[in-house]
Structures are given as structure tokens and as C-alpha cells.
Amino acid sequence: MNQNMQKVLQAALCMTRQCWEQGMLSYALLECGTEMKELLEMIVYDMVLRQSSDGRLCNVEDTPAVTDSAFCIPAVLAVGERTGNEEYVRAAHRNAEYLRCDAERTKDGILYHMRGTTQIWADSAAFLPYALVITGHPEEGYVQMAGILDCLYRKESGLYAHIWEEETASFPDGNAWSVGNGWILTGLERTWRALPGEMKAEKNALKEKYRNLLDRILALQCTDGGYHDVMDDPTTYMESETPAMIACAVYAGMRDGLFADADSSMKEMLREKADAMSAYVRGKILPDGRIAQAASSPFFDRPGTSVECQAHALMMEKLC
């Protein structure tokens, strides 16, 4: 890991982290490989330590968050399997069972983002489907992804809204939040990768959704490689996590074979676009390692910093 990314990691470790932020950081460290092995194992230990009685990992102060717990499953499961720690493996599956059987959901079975609401959020696409697939429930993972996308898709823009309210059949936030579309694109890539080969029709459907969304996202990329906070609204501020997320989705897609059928000119274009995004993100790294102009924790409604942006930058650098 180069010096800049070491500072990015140090800054992330100094930031307050809720469950999805701890999970996102752990997933980035998982992608970074063996050099982050010891740090990852310490983070996983604490996520399991904070597992609540209902099965949700890293449950800080009994959060109402439901699908955020899915962010924690991949690293807990991977470390458990790698080290032979059955407690961790069981902890990951307990969280999956909560999501499968106990969490609140729509009449069609699509999980709400938070308890006590009837809302579907773009954030849920990031890890909920993938976590279900890797814990042995690929059909259910696909159903969740398809349901989330159906709720949030805005045909007029080709992008996805941030929040759908089932009770009122409306969008409390119908904006094409750039980070939300990033959650969907990265979630599509990892879920496509994880689905078993025999689910060919489902894999093809996710590939089509991924490629269609990516085409629309690339068309809205600014000349400097970045994106506005609301992707199709140029009056909103330039946001730093989005280019890291999209670059990750492109680099991972190229690595995993999502563009195996593409010609060399398309692959070259994708690489150039992702490299421009990476350069944009690197240009936002402050001397102390914080990445400026990210949708800012805790409400993500203004420019600032966030753990999830730091994590995506780490992963971006590893994948590029």
C-alpha cells in the first residue's frame, strides 16, 4: 500500500463508524488481500462482539437499520472460513437468517431499509443481495436485488432514486443521488460475480442492468472525471465518493469478466474513464489522508468526509 493510501486508511480508522461503515471498511480490507490480514481480523472480532440477539452484526446502540447489517457479513464469513473460526461463520449465517426470516419487508418480500418504516433505499442493493448469495441463498439474493431495482428505477432518466415509500407508493427522495447509484452499480457487480453459473438467466439479467446503468453513469461523467452529488443535476456540488465507487465497479467488472464480450476499443474506453475517476479521487486526498468533498457523515447531505468514501478509495487503488 502506497503512502497516500496508508494515510487514507489511517484517517478512516480515526473516524466514527456505524455498522455499514465498519462493514464497508472491512470489505475494502478484504479486497486489499493478505497485507491487511491482521487489521481485518481485529475489525471482524469487534463486529462479532457487537452482534445483537436478533442476529445483526455490529449493532451499535440498537440501531433501527436492517439491511446495513449485510455490509458486515462478507468479511465476517471470509475471515471465519479462512481461519477456521466457527463462531464467526455461525455469526455471519445468523445475520443472514435474520435478513431471510425476521426482518420487516414488503408484501412481495423485499426488505425495508430500517425497522418501523416501509421504505426501500438504494443502499440496500450494495450488500443485501450479495450477502444472501454468499451465505447459500442465491435465489433469495437475486429476488432482493430485482425487487430493489424495480422499486427505485426512474425510466425517464435511466437512473435510480434514493428512496421508495411503499405505504404511500411515492418517492420521499426521488433524486438520482450519485452515491445511491454507486451502491447499486457496485452491488450489481458483486452479486453477478457471486451467483452460481447455473443461474444463467439471472446472471444475464444482472449483467444487463449493470451495463445499462453504467452507460448512463458514464454519459454523465464531468470532464474532470468527477460527478455531481445528484448525478443528473449540475447545480449540486461535486462529490468525491461517487467516482471511487464507479471506478471500483468498472475495475472489478473488468477483472471478473463482465466485459468479456466487449471489443478492445470499449475496454480501452472503460479503462480511461475509470482512470480519470481514480485521478479525480486522488486529487481530493488532503495531507492527513482525509478525502475532501465526500457526501458527509452522518447525514450525507453536504460535502465533508466519510468512512465509506475512504474505504472505496482504498479498494479503488487496489483494483486499478
Which SS3 state, helix, strand or coil, does residue 239 take? strand
Predicted local distance difference test score (pLDDT) of residue 32: 95
> Which residues on neighbouring strands pair with residue 121, listed in sequence order?
163
> Which residues on neighbouring strands pair with residue 111, listed in sequence order?
105
Predicted local distance difference test score (pLDDT) of residue 61: 86
Cα-Cα end-to-end distance for the chain: 13
> Which residues on neighbouring strands pair with residue 303, listed in sequence order?
295
Q: Which CATH number fits domain 3-315: 1.50.10.10, 2.30.42.10, 3.30.70.580, 1.20.1600.10?
A: 1.50.10.10
C-alpha dihedral sign at 284, 227, 9, 13: positive
d(CA 309, CA 227) in angstroms, rounded, equals: 14
Q: From first to last of its 320 residues, what are the pLDDT tens digits of the chain? A: 899 999 999 999 999 999 999 999 999 999 999 889 999 999 999 999 999 999 999 999 889 999 999 999 999 999 999 999 999 999 999 999 999 999 999 999 999 999 999 999 999 999 999 999 999 999 999 999 999 999 999 999 999 999 999 999 999 999 999 999 999 999 999 999 999 999 999 999 999 999 999 999 999 999 999 999 999 999 999 999 999 999 999 999 999 999 999 999 999 999 999 999 999 999 999 999 999 999 999 999 999 999 999 999 999 999 99
- The backbone torsions φ and ψ at residue 52, rounded to the nearest 5 degrees and listed phi first, read -85, 170
Predicted local distance difference test score (pLDDT) of residue 56: 98
For 289-304, write each residue's pLDDT tens digit.
999 999 999 999 999 9
Whether residue 183 contacts residue 120, with contact meaning beta carbons closer than 8 Å, is answered with: no
Predicted local distance difference test score (pLDDT) of residue 183: 98
Domain ranges of the chain: 3-315
Question: What percent helix, strand, coil does the chain show, rounded to 5?
Answer: 60, 10, 30
Residues 6+ apart with CB under 8 A from 60: 18, 19, 50
